[in-house]
Structure 1
Amino acid sequence: MKPLAHKHSPAKLGLAGLTAAILVASLAQTGQAAPTALTATVYSVVQEGLTVADGQRLADTFGIGNALYPNGAFSYADNDKFQYVPHKVVGSGKDEGGNATQDEAVDLDAVKAIKPLPDAQALARAQKLADIALKSEGLTLKPRVTHSTFTLSDDAGKVIGSYPIDTTVSFDAVLGNLPLAGQGASLRVTFAPDGTITELSESLRRLAAGRQVAIITADEAQRACAAVYGGAAQNTPVLSYLSPELSSRQADGKGTVTEVLPQYQCSPVDNSDGTQAPKTVPAITGGGPTFKVSLNRQGDTVSGAASVSGGTAPYTFRWGSSTTVLSSNTGQSVSYKRVPRDTAAKTETVSLEVTDANGLVASLSVPADTDGQFTGLSSPGGGSFALGTAGIENTVDEWQCAQDSANGFRNVMLSKGQTVAFDWRGYNAWEIDFRDPTVGGGWDNRYVDTVDIQWYTGHGSPYSFTFKSNVTDHNITPYDAKWGDTYNLEWLQLESCQVLRGVGSPYDFVSRWGRSFKGLHMMNGFHTNAYCVGGGTGGTFASYLFPIRWLWWTLRPAYTVQRAWATMAILKEPHGVVYRSFGPVARNWVTNINDYYWGQGPTGPDIQPTGIWWSITGTV
């Protein structure tokens, strides 16, 4: 769904905390109409997330495990009950690599018998969470009820049966009268049909209203958004407060974020590259960081440094290259040797994103296609996306949040002893890697279909996902792919906008992407836009595939692949994002819904499409 917004005029904004201030009083004395400036309130951080005592109190209040993270966020999910779809074990076997598999069939009678907790009861129970959550001056929490659904459909996407399986109450946060968005603005709870809590998360700050500041208009923000997207057309951006990811290190209520500031959420218009994810620009002129980059290229050796001013220190630096995966990219300077996939290619683009302590971002991409010295000035805005083998392809290397996703996925998989068989970024990511050899001579038998789990970040649409390079073209479509036909790729993750969107009917994504399943277990993606978020999503998703252990204790078990995707979306994506997983159903009703990553629990067999498909859809 393309995000829509209405154009605002100062007379129609009607937003608390947003006032019209007289800039030049003398103009009124001359009888001229006095120009006005929009202003907004800046909120000071009083407490950075939950403390250890807060986390224990939250767990005790609801009778759940203490899921407090060091940064002050609380994120609990019951791996046995969250988004539970009843199954029965009906057999076992081995996959092509000799790994044990377990056949689990949908218990359709049990699914049909599910009666979700009524909305009114869920709202009443969830009010307790709102009552004990961190309170802020001017903060309003508005409850919203959704249900995760388990759906069976045929090859054309026609629904055979759709069943709500739980009840979620999410609280949309409003600060003053402006939306409060971001990873530091999350409060939600999910109930099983019997009322048991299966998921609960709180990621809030305690805030106090502070000074008033002048902000730019929506028209000015629209022009700034266009600059962030390289001149791409923009819908009218939406003014809101952005609360970045919590920054405490010991869950002690202290962190690096000192203020929550107004920002505009950009809304790019769809184009030939597919639907682009929204990013943000500061609403305060000069309020965020700015920087200058100086680069030097000699042959394949590239070095650069940045000088930063403005915003609030400390700053976070994230460098990126269009040809090379940077093993060290978080300093104020960078140096590396180019490793282009096509050794004859001379093009090189260096990107840098600088984030200040309060989450305000500036970004820049500098071409360095020849030997010499290169410089550039930043634009405000950016931010926002062993037993097994893994692959990575990231086509938006200029977005550091996208690089973070790929880096995070890579680092977690390597830390768990898995093999990362390939990691292509920017122009090194090729469409041919996803294409089947029988369709125009594709190379998926060398790349994507030779690994167990694949991560992709890039632009997408309901009909394709895209690549910068033209090898063999810029888009992979369902007609190009036959994933799993070499019986290796099990799980495909698409951090991309709207690839699993229903267009003509709610589930017609099956009629498009179902044809690409030839042994693939599961495709994870989004019905709505996928947001490019701070810290990326890849590392979070990968971490949920494995347990968290300390000494001999298991602090959190490994999640199934589907639950890992859902929990990642809940933790990282903003309110209203719709995430989705789907796959084939065998003739004996066996599915891969309950697949664990290899070695972490039971994994199902390769299933060839039979004309029936399952999907699980949830809303953040």
Structure 2
Amino acid sequence: MAVALAVPLGVSVIAAPAQAAGRATLPVFGVRSAGLSEAQTAGLARALGLKQIARGEDGSVRYAAEKSFLSVPTRVTGEGKDEDGQPTTTTVLDVAALKRLRTISEADALRRSAKALGAAKLLPRGAKASARKTTVTAVDRRGRTTVSAALDTAVSYAFTLAGLPYEGPGAKIRVAFDGKGAATSLSFSTRTLAQAGSVEVLTAAEARARCAKAMGPAVRVASATPIYWAPALSTGAQTIEPSFRCAGVDVAGAQAQRVVVPAAVDAPLAAAPEPQEPRGTAGPAAGASKSTQSGPASRAYGRADVGSEGTGVCSGLPYTSNNLNSFNNQFTSRGIPVEFSWRDHNAWEQDFKDPAFGGDDSNWADHVDMTYWQGHGSPTGFSFAGCSSNDDTFLANTEARWGNGDVEWMSLFTCLILAQESGGKRWWQRWGPAFAGLHQINSFHTVSYHSASHGGTYANYMLRSPFLWWNNPMPVRSAWAQASIDDQPASVVWASMGPIGPGGSVNMNDYFWGKGPVGPDVPAASVTGYWYISGAS
């Protein structure tokens, strides 16, 4: 359970919404500075007892302890090879060690973070701190819990401007502590702001209309909430202007990814990218070879490869093209083939559906080592509504049997797939049958926010090369968690799950091929249970 502590207020330049000429106005904020200086970074490291932390060119600061960040105790029990002849390392859960794990309380974590940030003179004014434990659970095939433990206690800060939520990757302070109170991860990405005028904003009815225009006819808008959105520091934004957070449900019943639109009366919506040409006539998508765009025949087992797919403007998600490209480019720049990258009307439900149910995943999502998906989702599947209906507009969990082809890791950047419970069914009841050799599903317990860069951040964490004392590649699930921490507001809860095999074997510590150990496939008939890890972004 999360607990909260109000951080003491300092001098504020924010103002309450005003009314002018019958229309509300809200402040605009100018960016005085972005990120931390080298001296501030060093001071923060000292305050948290960290020897060194990485500071990006944009001033954002991140740290993840190589050995202890989201670490789950396991033991190596054997070596082997997979269906492609790749070496595998069998590890088993160390249940006894898991049961001994202890974490500090939420209240203690809140005190420690406030003390460290205060010592570094970086305690945010007017922010609200909340703490939540990152947890791991294992169940047997009947859903009986065999072990449940907390891995860390994470503190996140929530901000406001002009009395409204101020959220996004550029308004992020998060610190996680282990059982001894040592910091195991840190994300610090903020700006110094000052009010610089104001703008007239849409009425509530107009805001819903703008959200409806942005999200398209496939989504029924449920709310348009006024907020301030903080883009990543790397965007170089010079102003922070009021926005609306659009929420809705698509016509297939899936929760729409949150989309943010400008609130100013005359502000334009983001320009829509050109739709991808139809399959069979399309040139290569970014990062994908021309031969693989026209059909699956040229693809073969025996090499590490990936694919990406997602609904775009046709489902009210304008940045899908950018996001898939960011994922693809991280792989192609390292010589790893992207075998397909379908979006808009070329994203088909049958590409994820098992042939036993009339699908074709053996030629697409289950014919590469990792598939990355972006779109609207629900606890029971994800949606293609508004974009395509091949074979239909919703991939149900009951139609998924992944890993009986080639896929090891299914990366679903969508909403609610791994909600702990829905409709009376737990996560393992809904998605356990989908594991037929698949190693992991990485997704979210909550609704997620639309993004243009999550995929590239995720891929980079998996594939990066060591440099001096940092930049080591992360295990797949840790890369997913860290990318989500970087990219999503603190209210978004990321989650990962996978199967447990004979003797307690797990592949929760998998790296991408060539970056570290990978576990063997666990065929459906050999599954003895499931594991689940979740934490706050």
TM-score normalised according to structure 1 size: 0.76
Give the structure 2 partner of residue 561 of structure 1.
Answer: 476
Question: Are residue 95 (structure 1) and residue 95 (structure 2) matched?
Answer: no
Give the direction of change, closer, same or farther, for the CA distance of 1:169–1:290 in structure 2 (3 Å limit).
closer
1:439 paired to 2:357: yes
Report the alpha carbon displacement of residue 157 of structure 1 after superposing the two structures with TM: 4.5
- Once the two structures are overlaid, the 10-residue window that deviates more, 520-529 or 214-223, is 214-223
Contact kept, 8 Å, 2:285 with 2:342, in 1: the verdict is no
- Residue among 17, 20, 33 paired with 1:19: 17
Q: Which residue of 2 aligns with 1:402?
A: 320
Tell me whether 1:178 sits opposite 2:158 in the alignment. Answer: no
Q: 1:269 to 1:444 in 2, by over 3 A?
A: closer
Determine the structure 2 residue equivalent to 1:539. Answer: 456
1:273–1:459: 8 Å Cα contact kept in structure 2?
no
How high is the sequence identity, in percent, across the aligned residues?
Answer: 33
Aligned to 1:606: 521
Match of 2:506 among 577, 583, 591: 591
How far apart, CA to CA, are the structure 2 residues paired with 1:532 and 1:554? Answer: 33
Q: Which structure has the bigger radius of gyration? A: 1
Larger displacement relative to structure 2 (142-151 or 445-454): 445-454
Cα pair 2:156 2:173 within 8 Å, conserved: yes
User: Which of 361, 374, 377 is equivalent to 1:457?
Assistant: 374
Aligned-partner SS, 2:84? coil
Query: Structure 1 residues 325, 195: CA separation in 2 closer, same or farther (over 3 Å shift)?
Result: farther
TM-superposed deviation, 1:502: 2.9
Which residue identity is paired with 2:310?
Answer: N
RMSD: 2.7
Q: Is the 8 A contact 2:252 2:393 kept in 1?
A: no
Measured after TM superposition, the shift of residue 428 of structure 1 is 1.7
Q: Secondary structure at the match of 1:321?
A: coil
Amino acid at match of 1:615: Y
Residue 161 of structure 1 is matched in structure 2 by 147
Give the 3-state SS of the residue equivalent to 1:272 in structure 2: coil
Q: Which residue of 1 aligns with 2:190?
A: 204
* 1:582 match: secondary structure: strand
Task: Say whether 1:75 aligns with 2:73.
Answer: no
1:397–1:265 CA distance, 2 compared to 1 (3 A): closer
Q: Is the 8 A contact 2:26 2:162 kept in 1?
A: no
Letter matched to residue 170 of structure 1: S
Give the letter aligned to residue 136 of structure 2.
F
The answer to whether the 8 Å contact 1:320/1:326 transfers is: no
Measure how far apart 1:141 and its partner are. Answer: 1.4
Range moving further from structure 2, 606-615 or 57-66: 57-66
Summarize the Cα distance change of 1:133–1:536 in structure 2 as closer, same or farther, 3 Å threshold.
farther
Structure 1 residues 554 and 216: CA distance shift in structure 2, 3 A: same
The answer to whether the 8 Å contact 1:404/1:536 transfers is: yes
**Pair 568,497 (structure 1): closer, same or farther in 2 beyond 3 Å:** same
Is 1:392 aligned to 2:308, yes or no?
yes
SS of residue matched to 1:239: strand
Counterpart of 1:193? 179
* Separation in 2, partners of 1:68, 1:564: 18
Query: Equivalents in 1 of 2:293, 2:39: separation in Å?
Result: 51
Q: Secondary structure at the match of 2:319?
A: helix
SS in 1 for 2:234: coil
Tell me, yes or no, if structure 1 residue 264 matches structure 2 residue 244: yes
CA–CA distance in structure 1, aligned partners of residues 501 and 251 of structure 2: 38
2:430 aligned residue: 512
Residue 387 of structure 1 and its aligned partner are, at CA, apart by 5.0
3-state DSSP of counterpart to 2:353:
coil
Aligned to 1:346: none
- One-letter amino acid matched to 2:369: D
Alignment of 1:461-480 (within 5 A): 461-467=378-384, 468-480=387-399
Name the SS of the counterpart of 1:222 in structure 2: helix
Mapped to 2, the partners of 1:86 and 1:481 lie a distance apart of 30
For residues 113 and 181 of structure 1, the distance between their equivalents in structure 2, rounded to whole angstroms, comes to 36
Shift of 1:327: 6.3
Structure 2: distance between partners of 1:584 and 1:597: 17
Identify the residue that residue 279 of structure 1 maps to in structure 2. 259
Distance in 2 separating the partners of 1:191 and 1:64 = 16
Higher helix fraction (1 or 2) = 2
Aligned-residue offset at 1:273: 5.2
User: Aligned partner of 1:543: which letter?
Assistant: N
Which runs of structure 2 are paired with 1:296-335 in the superposition (5 Å)?
A: 319-321=274-276, 323=278, 324=282
Residues 129, 46 of structure 1: alpha-carbon distance in 2 compared, 3 angstrom cutoff: farther
**Using the alignment, how far apart are the partners of 1:584 and 1:83 within structure 2?**
18
Distance in 2 between residues matched to 1:568 and 1:133, nearest whole Å: 27
Q: After superposition, give the CA deviation of every residue in 1:100-130 in whole Å (9 maximum; x if it has no partner).
A: 1111111111111111112222111101354
Instruction: Say if 1:554 and 1:453 are closer, same or farther in 2 by CA, change over 3 A.
Output: farther
1:159: how far off? 3.7
Q: Is the 8 A contact 2:285 2:341 kept in 1?
A: no
How do 1:222-241 residues align onto structure 2 when only pairs under 5 Å count? 222-231=208-217, 232-241=219-228
1:45-85 deviation digits (Å, cap 9, x = unpaired): 11022233333332333214221111221121113111111
Counterpart residue identity of residue 115, structure 2: K
The TM-score with structure 2 as length reference comes to 0.87
> What SS is found at the alignment partner of 1:117?
coil
Match of 2:133 among 128, 147, 151: 147
Unaligned ranges ≥5, structure 2: 1-13, 296-301
After superposition, the C-alpha distances for 1:371-395 in whole angstroms (9 at most, x for unaligned) are xxxxxxxxxxxxxxx9511111122
Match of 1:52 among 30, 33, 38: 38
Q: Comparing 564-573 with 77-86, which one deviates more in the overlay?
A: 77-86
Distance 2:425 2:152 in 1: 20
Deviations 1:515-571, CA, capped at 9 Å, x for gaps: 1111100011111112112x3211111001123445xx4641000001000000000
Which amino acid in structure 1 is aligned with residue 82 of structure 2?
D
Residue type of the partner of 1:585?
Answer: I
Provide structure 1 residue ranges, at least 5 long, that are not aligned to the other structure.
1-15, 24-35, 249-255, 294-316, 330-336, 343-385
Distance of 1:227 and 1:200 partners within structure 2: 38
* Corresponding residue to 2:492 among 574, 577, 592: 577
1:86 aligns with one of 73, 79, 100: 73
Correspondence 1:404-419 to 2 at 5 A: 404-419=322-337
- 1:507 CA drift (Å): 7.0
Give the 3 Å change call, closer, same or farther, for CA 223–400 of structure 1 in structure 2.
Answer: closer
SS of equivalent to 2:460: helix
Change (3 A) 1:506 1:188: farther
C-alpha separation between the residues in 1 aligned to 2:178 and 2:36? Answer: 25
- 1:151, distance to aligned residue in structure 2 (A): 0.7
